[in-house]
Amino acid sequence: MKTINKSIFKGRDFISLHDFSQDELSCILDVARELKEEQKAGRPHPVLQGKTLGMIFTKSSTRTRVSFEVGMYQLGGHALFLSGRDIQLGRGETIADTARVLSRMVDGIMIRTFSHQEVLDLAEFSSIPIINGLTDLLHPCQVLADLMTIQEHKGRLAGLKLAYIGDGNNMAHSLMYGGAKMGLHVVIASPPGYKPDPVVVAMAQADAKANGGSVEVVDDPLEAVKGADVLYTDVWASMGQEAEAKVRMAAFEGYQINSDVLKRADRSAIVLHCLPAHRGEEITDEVIEGVQSVVFDEAENRLHAQKAIMAVVM
C-alpha cells in the first residue's frame, strides 16, 4: 500500500461531510480506492493492526454493521458490536460516562442511532475518534460511498448533476453536503411538508458556491431529473417512521424513479439507492435491475469507503 499522509485526519471525528474540505474528502476517496485495489488484488493491508473499534447500534442495520465489522477485520483490527441492550446506555448511563469509559478501552467508536445530538455529545466527551454511522439528521458514511461510486462510473464529480427524488431526510442532507463540497449540482425534489432542513440547505448552498457547484430544492421531480447524470432515491418511510407509512405513501405519489422518469435524465445517467429499497414504491424493479443501475456497486463501496474513514482517523 502506498504511503498516504493521513496525519491531517488522525484523531478527528467523522460526523458530517460539512466538516471536511474538498481536498480532505478527495484524500479519503483516494484512500478508499487504494484499499479497494489492495483487496481486489488479494494483498493484505493491516494498517490498523491491533486496533479496536467499538460499534454502538441503537438503530439496526445490514450494510453499516457488515461493512464496519468486515472492514476492521481486513484492516487487521477488531470490531466490537455493542447494541443498546448490551451496554449501560440502555439502562440510563449517560453518554458522557460511556464516552469516557470507552475512550480508555477502544481506539475508535462508530455509532448508529436516531438522535444526532447523541453523536455530538459522544464526540464532546470522547478522547478517541467518533464516526457517525447514521443519525436522523445525517448519513455521511453512505454518501462517501456514493461519491466513490459516481467517480468510478463517471470519472469525475465536479460539474455533474445529481437529482435526488424523495424525502428531505438524512440522505438528502448528506448528499447536499457531500455534493456541494465536491462541486456537483445537486437538485432535491421533495413534496411540501417533506423538504430538507432549511439550515442544512443554506449551509450546503454556501459550500457549493465556494466549490463551483450548486444546491437547489424543488417540488417537481420531472424538473429535477432533466438532464441529470445521477438519479438517487431513498425509502419514503425510514426506520422509526412506520406509523406514518400510509400518509407518506399518499404524499410521495409521483416521486418514484421509474423508466419514464429515467428517460428524462441524461442518456448515460446512473441510478443510486442507499438500500434497503421498497421496490414498487420509490423505485421500480425495472430500474433497480436495469443497465443504468449501479446500486450494488454502491453497496459494495460502503465497505471500501468506511475502511478509508477508519484508516485515516484511527
Give the residue numbers of the binding site for L-ornithine. 170, 234, 238-239
For the chain, where are the alpha helices, taking DSSP H only? 22-40, 63-74, 95-103, 116-125, 140-154, 170-181, 198-211, 221-225, 245-251, 259-263, 285-288, 295-313
Give yes or no: 86 in active site: no
Which DSSP category does 218 fall into? E
Residue 139: active-site member: yes
Q: Identify the active-site residue in 107, 146, 207, 234.
A: 234
Q: What is the spatial distance between Cα 170 and Cα 29, in angstroms, rounded to a whole number?
A: 21
Which listed residue (45, 139, 248, 273) is catalytic?
Answer: 139
> Which of the following is catalytic: 22, 142, 151, 306?
142
Per DSSP, 79 falls in state: E
Among 167, 273, 274, 304, which one carries the catalytic annotation? 274
From 127, 217, 117, 230, select the one nearest 173 (Cα to Cα).
217
In the annotation, is 229 catalytic?
A: no
| Closest to 190 (Cα-Cα) out of 216, 208, 212, 228 | 216
As annotated, the binding site for carbamoyl phosphate includes: 61-64, 88, 112, 139-142, 274-275, 302
Q: Which cell numbers hold the place of 32?
A: 478508499
Tell me the sheet residues that pair with 217: 188
> CB–CB of 283/233 below 8 Å?
yes
Comparing CA positions, the residue from 132, 135, 113 lying closest to residue 60 is: 113
Residue 142 appears among annotated catalytic residues: yes
Catalytic residue among 18, 112, 116, 304: 112
Q: Which helix (H) or strand (E) holds 134?
A: strand 130-134
Output the known binding site: 61-64, 88, 112, 139-142, 170, 234, 238-239, 274-275, 302
The set of catalytic residues is 112, 139, 142, 234, 274, 302
